Amino acid sequence: MTIFVIAEHDNKVLAPATLNTVAAAAKIGGDIHVLVAGQGAGAVAEAAAKIAGVSKVLNADNAAYAHQLPENVAPLVAELGAGYSHILAAATSNGKNILPRVAAQLDVDQISEIISVESADTFKRPIYAGNAIATVQSNASVKVITVRATGFDPVAAEGGSAAVEAVSAAHDAGTSSFVGEELAKSDRPELTAAKIVVSGGRGMQNGDNFKHLYALADKLGAAVGASRAAVDAGFVPNDMQVGQTGKIVAPQLYIAVGISGAIQHLAGMKDSKVIVAINKDEEAPIFQVADYGLVADLFEAVPELEKLV
Amino acid sequence: MKVLVAVKRVVDYNVKVRVKADNSGVDLANVKMSMNPFCEIAVEEAVRLKEKGVATEIVVVSIGPTTAQEQLRTALALGADRAILVESAEELTSLAVAKLLKAVVDTEQPQLVILGKQAIDSDNNQTGQMLAALTGYGQGTFASKVEVSGDSVAVTREIDGGAQTVSLKLPAIVTTDLRLNEPRYASLPNIMKAKKKPLETLTPDALGVSTASTNKTVKVEAPAARSAGIKVKSVAELVEKLKNEAKVI
């Protein structure tokens, strides 16, 4: 068995989600090869070669892969991956974009967002916004799987010494082109990788009030998230959204401030180790999953909390 | 141009589902069903394209049980022109659905196919991408903005770090994200009119598509319940618990 892992990167840095994906591959067992598809991503390939447990890195360097357009990358993955037992990618926006296209090209069903490996062909994944866990078995010749990063502890980024092999295959479907991107800038840790997450909801009342959460987060070294209500109300940009339709997080500590705890939000954070809820409505559903609940006005409690930690 | 929109009948998003005692699935008997929220956004986008004069005809398609006609009628009431139901009693995987949609695309020849980014029941997020692979079209997934100009469409996509814009040659596949638009409600007169709009029924066999799957659901369980927490009285007590009891700060 040899497992093919698609590296998540931006041509410069290897994303941490790749380490969680390799961890899932290690649980399946077998040789692990990593594909770096990009342009000028040599540093990423070198970083991938150092990941513990990786035995080979394939570096596909081509202008067609620069922005990881699925029309170009999927045929590459399908071509290279056809001989492998498993193809894995992190369930990031890139992984979700590319991998189903690969699965269809290989004529196999995909298994999305696995949270555990039961055996080489059997996996667990949440359905219905995390309200049920399905055990799914695949008899496909190549098992195509996306991995929910929070379900697996990352493997060590150092310690491996895999060989890097250049791949010359170039696919340019010519059906799509990159126009531009607008990335939100933040000095705080990345939401999905942070050990502590402080999230605000509709109760924050406006975007300006998020400054209270930023102050608390900076003191804790935490990332700041938001509920869909806060995003839809325009308080904060949508890449901060935690939930079924946003990001899935599982930090050590999740502090929900002014968040009622709708099903769709809980789907994104209920695997956090410790959940704290600060809400003035003591009937709010968030208190049913919170380890520590504080019924209080957030505008008094949050500044006080910031002072005391 | 012709726009094809795929819609799915799913359990209503407000319903808290329960797992069946025999672990064979979730209990959907007597549960409220609705159109998948992302599909509503897809229908709305198609209707807006028609209102702008970009789209000339909207065909809405659903693959599922006979009762999925209700969701197709809803789409017709929202502004779709005609509907196609590919009837299948069994639960189909995303790949099977993509293959059936491919067969419909082959006969209808739409310039744009709009789907939701994921269904809130299976949470797969696969069908649009798979349909794009089978048709060989470009894909604009997780769209928050769609602009058709000439023979291409510019799609702004929600990605992990922010937003990305790609340009796709038509015909193309677009999957909707939440912020693409705010779906309208169907008015009563439109609901009445929708009853007279054409609804064609097909079967996978008639389309010549095999719905065999390489995946099998072995069992479905309830997630591990979190143990009940406590309510603290003050911020000081909260900090003390986090430091000494939970040891997370």
Average pLDDT in chain A: 96
CB contact under 8 A, B217 and A136: yes
**Span A235-250, pLDDT tens digits:** 999 899 999 989 999 9
CB contact under 8 A, B220 and A135: yes
CB contact under 8 A, B126 and A130: no
**Span B85-102, pLDDT tens digits:** 999 988 999 999 999 999
Over 90: is that where the pLDDT of A111 sits?
A: yes
> CA-CA distance, A197 to A220, in Å (whole number)?
9
What do you get for the CA distance between the two ends of chain A, in Å? Answer: 49
| pLDDT value of position B166 | 98
Contacts of A135 in chain B (CB under 8 A): 217-221
CB contact under 8 A, B130 and A247: no
Contacts of A270 in chain B (CB under 8 A): 223, 226
Nearest chain B residue to A132 by CA distance is: B222
Q: How far is B189 from chain A (nearest CA, A)?
A: 30
Q: Which of B136, B162, B214 sits opposite A184 (nearest CB)?
A: B162
Nearest chain A residue to B28 by CA distance is: A128
Confidence of residue A179 (pLDDT cuts 50, 70, 90): very high
Over 90: is that where the pLDDT of B207 sits?
A: yes
CB contact under 8 A, A100 and B130: yes
Is B138:B169 a contact under the CB 8 Å cutoff?
yes
CB contact under 8 A, A93 and B159: yes
Contacts of A196 in chain B (CB under 8 A): 248-249
| pLDDT value of position A131 | 93
Taking only residues 29 to 88 of chain B, the set having a beta carbon closer than 8 angstroms to any beta carbon of chain A reads none
Over 90: is that where the pLDDT of A228 sits?
A: yes
| pLDDT value of position B38 | 97
> CA-CA distance, A107 to B93, in Å (whole number)?
12
Contacts of B128 in chain A (CB under 8 A): 100
Over 90: is that where the pLDDT of A16 sits?
A: yes
Which DSSP string do the residues of B197-214 spell out, in sequence order?
Answer: S-EEEE-HHHHT-----S
Q: Which of B11, B166, B213 sits opposite A109 (nearest CB)?
A: B213
Contacts of B222 in chain A (CB under 8 A): 131-133
**Span A18-48, pLDDT tens digits:** 999 999 999 999 999 999 999 999 999 999 9
Over 90: is that where the pLDDT of A142 sits?
A: yes
Over 90: is that where the pLDDT of A59 sits?
A: yes
**Span A190-206, pLDDT tens digits:** 999 899 999 999 999 99
> CA-CA distance, B50 to A195, in Å (whole number)?
47
The CA-CA-CA angle for residues B38, B42, B47, to 5°, reads 145
Q: Which of A122, A130, A245 sits opposite B178 (nearest CB)?
A: A245
Over 90: is that where the pLDDT of B83 sits?
A: yes
Over 90: is that where the pLDDT of B234 sits?
A: yes
Beta strands B9-11 and B33-35, pairing class: antiparallel
CB contact under 8 A, A112 and B126: yes
Q: How far is B193 from chain A (nearest CA, A)?
A: 33
Preceding amide of B171 cis, omega within 30: yes
Q: How many residue pairs bridge chain A and chain B with CB atoms within 8 Å of each other?
A: 254
Confidence of residue B226 (pLDDT cuts 50, 70, 90): confident
Beta strands in chain B (DSSP E): 2-7, 9-11, 33-35, 57-64, 82-87, 112-116, 138-149, 152-159, 162-169, 172-176, 199-202, 215-221, 230-232
| pLDDT value of position A138 | 97
B216 touches chain A (CB under 8 A): yes
**Token output for B21:** 């005692």
Confidence of residue A184 (pLDDT cuts 50, 70, 90): confident
CB contact under 8 A, B123 and A101: no
Average pLDDT in chain B: 96
Contacts of A276 in chain B (CB under 8 A): 238, 242
| pLDDT value of position B249 | 84
> CA-CA distance, B45 to B39, in Å (whole number)?
10
CB contact under 8 A, B164 and A122: no
CB contact under 8 A, A101 and B139: yes
**Span B141-199, pLDDT tens digits:** 999 999 999 999 999 999 988 999 999 999 999 999 998 999 999 999 999 999 999 99
